[in-house]
Structure 1
């Protein structure tokens, strides 16, 4: 059976999708038209936990569809499936700061050795440090059922002189090498694309200072 997960659905797209030939099932996981308090869902990520569960994460953009610099209330929400995508849990907020602090652009790595899921996102405090991007992680050791408190890893993977730069961890997902190293990407619009990694399963992180810049 082929299952398509419609991870992102805008307010305007509230009609039932037509199934293409050979497509048996569509799951529309995040649809803002079902909740008048949500402006839109954006920037999806999905990962398979080590027990086979699927975990899908996305921005929950509350007052508007603006990005991090323009919205005072963006949360990270998830849904989980324990049956290969046939059914899903209710939407759960896993990162929800007070008004004026927003989190955006989720991405994940499932550590095949420890079983942990590491969820990355970008953070901004629009009242105290507007336009300052911070880089956070939360972790789950039970396949997405519960999550740790946020951890700020900005100082580990970004240089001090980059403090006011437009920088962000890319959305989607990172990878784990055959040796167990965790790798992910961060973009600095002034200094290029960088990899960052962890050799201790996310206990600490380091920047790989060999940027890739547009030609």
Structure 2
């Protein structure tokens, strides 16, 4: 069993009784060898990459993780040892999770946060496609009201123009506060 302990600065090096007491990060930022953000993975996956020496720790959470035979700093940001080729112009597929995250989990017509679905701004029956610039978050009421109509026909335009999601919207799960240790790797560091 792996248990976190308080930071190495803590002279007692005591084992934490509760994960929440030490703010155990549930997600770890993964960078390519070029320091380009690739993904966010679970703590478990990051530890496996570190143990197999496929990644190195760039930022830790100030907590040590102990197993029967190993002690590691708890990673917050890791960098892969081998380069992962990302094809130029690679676009992420449109997915329900990514559209909802991009739109802040709010209906783009009325602002509701209940019974959310996806809506094609230009309906598929009228030649619309499932692309980032044509799919928005909609509550079921607005989706039924709009139906197969064009926004101009019934005066229902999305509050924001649909667009591909930003890197942060794709990497950081909704409701997850962006860790300070990630900011400089995502180009958000403040002076």
Q: Is the shorter-chain TM-score for this pair beyond 0.5, marking a shared fold? A: no
Higher RCO (C-alpha 8 Å, min separation 6): 2
Structure with the bigger percentage of helix: 2
TM-score, length basis structure 1: 0.20
The higher radius of gyration belongs to 2
User: Per residue, is there more strand in 1 or in 2?
Assistant: 1
